Structure 1
């Protein structure tokens, strides 16, 4: 019986070739040139959320926002289109949008209908995103071990 140490395979039974099946490569090796650089185009992922439909309750807007963003794990830009109904029935849309995108999007664009009083939603979302990002950074700093 062959001697077997923990973590070692007995000769001839391991995952690699045994001693009797040595591979000999007689083919001449081709000289290697400089590495080839392949240009890669910059790709920016964009998530578009459309909340311009008919809404009667805040819960409908929140559900629709969640459903349209639940598979958006990482993106460069998030574009959120808001309609009159969504803005009328839903308070706190800036906070809701910020909480969905503050960790996954580098930029968030909020489109509201022209000539409405709802333009503050974009500013509100930016403010919440700054607060959420700062809070997240503090949380990470508290949970990291020193050293």
Structure 2
């Protein structure tokens, strides 16, 4: 589900079932002309859409974080802080999803980052779904 689909009553009723938050990160730095910005946002959407479809009813997609230089540690720390605050809302898992391959590191507050291994790589829907499923299975194993 997208954040905008939930009313306040629904949020509290569904919270036990909506345990995974997806945070899209486009990685725009501000020097992209409009057509390049649109392409980068669409790339992130290509990585996000299979997850939203496969796991509707268990995931919530929060608003996208567009402007961040994913190659800078301080900006990755900022995303990590956002992940931590979002987790305080009651989510067990935070998954950062991006169409950018050039991350300096994964955000500390994220349980998983899904992104291309190299620029221009297309998402493999099965691998994306498997990564989320493995994250959930790890929780079951640690009990």
- The TM-score with structure 1 as length reference comes to 0.35
Please tell me whether Structure 1 or Structure 2 has the larger radius of gyration of its CA atoms.
1
More helix by share: 2
- The TM-score with structure 2 as length reference comes to 0.36
Q: Which has the higher contact order (CA 8 A, sep 6+)?
A: 2
